[in-house]
Structure 1
């Protein structure tokens, strides 16, 4: 499991999961696949929109389906750094 993404990015994603989707905080872990937390296509689209609004970066919906939370946070951090 990859966990080198800064906690702040993981915390941000976790907070969105809790706020918007009422996902249980105790189940948010770096090794959990995003698709297991975003269980339908509307949730995936909403997460992509919220992350774009809050971070100003585009998120591919396939990334939200294929990556773990930690991997996805690393992708976001790389995009933020590259700006």
Structure 2
């Protein structure tokens, strides 16, 4: 996986957070915990669905609650390159 691929996934997920989930852009930072950005269980489920639809990677809700934005993006990017 290249750094640019991971950055691209990070950009896509960041855009989803800002556009779809209306997270203020100043809160969307690489080191921000996903559980802090997605503040309720419905948002977590909707993000899992959005990542699958947009990036083609299935994620589970626990994964979203345990990682920072950068860690989550890296995990998704790695799975995209495995296909």
Of stretches 38-47 and 22-31 in structure 1, the one that deviates more from structure 2 is 22-31
Give the whole-Å Cα distance in 1 for the aligned partners of 2:25 and 2:37.
Answer: 11
1:51-70 alignment, distance < 5 Å? 51-70=51-70
TM-score, normalising length from structure 2? Answer: 0.90
- The count of aligned residue pairs is 81
Give structure 1 regions of 4+ aligned residues with deviation exceeding 4 angstroms. none
TM-score, normalising length from structure 1? Answer: 0.90
Contact 1:44-1:61 at 8 Å conserved across structures? yes
Cα offset, 1:19, TM superposition: 1.0
Give the whole-Å Cα distance in 2 for the aligned partners of 1:5 and 1:35.
Answer: 24
What 5-or-longer segments of structure 2 have no aligned partner?
none
Partner of 1:12: 12
Give the whole-Å Cα distance in 1 for the aligned partners of 2:42 and 2:60.
Answer: 14
Give the whole-Å Cα distance in 1 for the aligned partners of 2:78 and 2:10.
Answer: 13
